[in-house]
Amino acid sequence: MKKLQLIALAFLAFGACKNGEKKSDAYGNFEAVETIVSSEMPGKLLKMEAKQGDQIDAGKLIALIDTTELYLKKMQTQAQLEASETKKQNVSAQINVLKEQKKNVSTTQQRIAKMFADKAATQQQIDDINGQMNVLDKQILATNTQFQLIGSEMEVVNRQLDLISEQLTKCRINSPTKGTVLETYLENGELATPGKPVLKMADLSNLELKVYVSGTQLSNVKLGSDVKVLIDSDAKEMQTMSGKITWISSESEFTPKIIQTKEERVKLMYAVKIVVPNDGSLKIGMPGEVVF
């Protein structure tokens, strides 16, 4: 009787081994590289173009902030620039008049100098005409300085216009990358402030499975290696997918609660990330297993 019991137990053990599935090497959860898109300018949100679940391309308009105040400021600055341009033209005309006067005085100066050489003009006349030339030279120099100052002022105004144009551009919040909108934080009419999140998005075409391996497993973990990833298909079956190891932690750390056994939870483990192409079946936070 005892012999029959032993034979029965052996058959049960054999059946258990035969039907048992191979244990996975590591466990973890799927993650995505999430991007928080924030506002760079304050103002009322006029239009929210994206909603949760939308797939948007890089550069697409996400939201528009009220630009009325900036537009009026730009018009005012342009008017200031035009006034400076008119002032610059007037000063330029003054310089031309002074140069013409100097030309005439220079002709007179040469004539008086010739007369003085012939003793037909006095020293006083020479001194007077030379004084007129000196005065004109100083007037031209001062007017040129004024002309340059106006030019510098116009340069400042032009930079102000560039700044306003840049601020107007930032009122259009565009998608920094291609991805899916995971969550929105603002609605039409709400106030946007610099640094305040507008939405959260992520590229779901590839997800990262973050798992933890022990030091003894590191010899089987190589960057760029292809691995087998398993996810739950139903209550009994597992779906197999392919993935590639893209990152291995350089330092060990305590393992998270996801590790299956008590023995593994007390060890120092290494984090590993595996990129898995998403055919639509993978979701953020979904558990996964990997076989190296």
pLDDT in tens, 99-153: 999 999 999 999 999 998 888 888 999 999 999 999 999 999 999 999 999 999 9
Looking at residues 257-281, what average pLDDT do you find? 75
Lowest-confidence range among 33-42, 160-169, 262-271? Answer: 262-271
The predicted pLDDT at position 268 comes to: 73
249-270 residues labelled b (16+ CB within 10 A) or e (exposed): eeeeeebeeebeeeebeeeebb
Measured from the Cβ of residue 132, the count of other Cβ atoms closer than 10 Å reads 17
Instruction: Give Cβ neighbours of residue 99 (< 8 Å, ≥ 6 apart).
Output: 140
Looking at residues 7-25, what average pLDDT do you find? 46
Rounded mean pLDDT of the chain? 87
pLDDT category of residue 40 using cuts at 50, 70 and 90: very high
Looking at residues 55-80, what average pLDDT do you find? 96
Angle at 53 between CA 51 and CA 55, to 5 degrees: 90
Among 272, 227, 226, smallest CA distance to 249 is for 272
**Is 278:55 a contact under the CB 8 Å cutoff?**
no
pLDDT category of residue 261 using cuts at 50, 70 and 90: low
Looking at residues 208-229, what average pLDDT do you find? 89
pLDDT category of residue 265 using cuts at 50, 70 and 90: low
Looking at residues 207-226, what average pLDDT do you find? 88
The predicted pLDDT at position 236 comes to: 73
Task: Give dist(CA 175, CA 56) in Å, integer.
Answer: 7
Residue % of the chain over a pLDDT of 90: 73
Task: Give dist(CA 22, CA 15) in Å, integer.
Answer: 14
The predicted pLDDT at position 282 comes to: 93
Helix (H) or strand (E) run with residue 276 in it: strand 268-277
Residue 202 has pLDDT above 50, yes or no: yes
Tell me the whole-structure pTM to 2 decimals.
0.69
pLDDT category of residue 84 using cuts at 50, 70 and 90: very high
In sequence order, what DSSP letters do the residues of 176-240 get, joined into one string? SSSEEEEEE---TTPEE-TT-EEEEEE--SEEEEEEEEEGGGGGG--TT-EEEEEEE-SSS-EEE
